[in-house]
Amino acid sequence: MTGVLVLEDGRIFKGIGRGAEGVQTGEVVFNTSMTGYQEILTDPSYHRQIVTMTVSHIGNTGINPDDIESRKVWVAGFVVRSLSPIVSNWREQGSLDAYLRAQNVIALSDVATRALVRHIRSKGVMRAAIAHGDAANDTDTLLDMARNSFDMSGANLVDDVTCDEPYHWTETSDSQWYRAHKNHADGPLIVAYDFGIKHNILRMMSDRGLRVTVVPAHTRPDEVLALNPAGIFLSNGPGDPSAVTYAIENVRDLLGRVPIFGICLGHQILALALGGKTEKMRFGHRGGNQPVKNLLTGRVEISAHNHGFTVSPNSDLNGAEVTHINLNDNTVEGLRHLELGAFSVQYHPEASPGPHDSLYLFDEFVQRVKNIMMNNAQ
C-alpha cells in the first residue's frame, strides 16, 4: 500500500506503507546504528520524531520482549530502505512490521533513505508528515500539516514521557552481555529523575550494587531529599532542555547536597542549572559510532548518541569544566563540577544499542557516592 513522507520544505519521499495506517507529524531525524532498532523505537528520547535508519536492512532479527527500553514505542514514525521479510534470531517472538502495527506506529519501507539523509544533513532536521494508506495520496494536505506541526525548539516533552508515580527498580542486566552482577539488596540508594529514562541505564546502576528509586520529573527537591539518597541521577529524555524549567530549578536546588550524575538531557539540564546555555544542532548526533575524547585521560571512546540539542561551547558554567568533546565537531560531550560533586555526559554510556567503551562512568558514579558516604560517616 502507498506510503509517503512529506517534508516541510516540499520535498516528497515515496515508499511502501508499513505498520499502522494513518497520518502522523514529527521532526525527521536519522540514526546511523547498524542494529538495535527495537531499543531505538522504545527510547523515550525519540518522542515526536520520525526516525530514518541509514543502514539498508532493518527487521532481520525480529522483536523480543527483552530489548525494549521503556513501556512503549515512542517514535512518531519509522523510515527504512528495506524491511526484511525474513526474521531469524533465537530470541525473536514476532516481526517488526507486526510489532509496529500493534503499537500503532506508521512506517515506510523502500524509501530512498540515502537521498533523505543527505537532504537532512544539508538542510538540517525539519518537520514532516508521514502517511500510510489513502491519506498518502493527498500530498498538499500533508505539506500543510507538516508546516503547521509543532516545533521541537521550545518544546517540553518530558511531561509526556515521565512516570506517574515513584517506583523501585531491581532488575539487573543479562550476565551474558555484561559483567557479573553484584548483590544490590543493601547498596546505597540512588534517586533517578525520570525525564524519559531507559531501562538499561537502570540495569547498569542495579548491576553495581545500587538501590534505585525512580521519581517523576516534577518531584520537588525536598521530596527527593526526604528519601535520604546517597546520589541523584538525571536521565535522558526528549525535547528542548531549556523548556523544562522546573527541572532546571530543582537541580539547581540539589547541587552540592549529594553527588549528581546526568546523561543526555540530564547533562543539558545540569549545564543549565549551573548557568550554562544550550542550543539546537543542525541534525544532531544519533547512532552508535560517535568518537568522544576524554580530556582528563586522553582516551578516545566510541559512543552511542541520541540528541538534537547541545551545551553551548561558550557557556559560563560557574566553575564546571568540560571533560569530554566530540572529535567530529568539537561539541561538548561531558562536564564536571568538583566542588559541587556533579558530573554528566551528553552521550549514552549504557548504550543499548552501542559500544561499551564508557561503562566506567557508572563505576565512577558509584565511587563518588561511596566516598561521600565514607566522609559523612567519619
Q: Which residues are annotated as catalytic?
A: 264, 348, 350
What is the phi/psi pair of residue 18, to 5°? -130, 170
Of 198, 252, 190, 175, which is closest to residue 220 (Cα–Cα)? 252
Decide if 8 contacts 99 (C-beta within 8 A). no
**Per-residue exposure over 57-68, b if at least 16 CB sit within 10 Å of its own CB, e if not:** ebbbbbbeeebb
The DSSP element (H or E) to which 307 belongs, if any, is strand 300-311
DSSP category for residue 348: B
Dihedral sign for Cα atoms in the order 330, 331, 332, 334: negative
Q: Return d(Cα 282, Cα 352) in angstroms, integer.
A: 24
Task: Give first-to-last CA distance, the chain, whole Å.
Answer: 69
User: What SS3 class is residue 18?
Assistant: strand
Decide if 41 contacts 97 (C-beta within 8 A). no
Beta bridge partners of 31: 53
Burial of 175 (0-12, 13-18, 19+ CB in 10 A): exposed
Of 365, 364, 335, which is closest to residue 347 (Cα–Cα)? 335
What is the phi/psi pair of residue 340, to 5°? -95, -5
Q: Return d(Cα 94, Cα 75) in angstroms, integer.
A: 19
Count CB neighbours of 183 within 10 A. Answer: 7
Decide if 22 contacts 106 (C-beta within 8 A). yes
Of 75, 9, 115, which is closest to residue 286 (Cα–Cα)? 75
Q: Where are the alpha helices (DSSP H) in 75-112?
A: 96-102
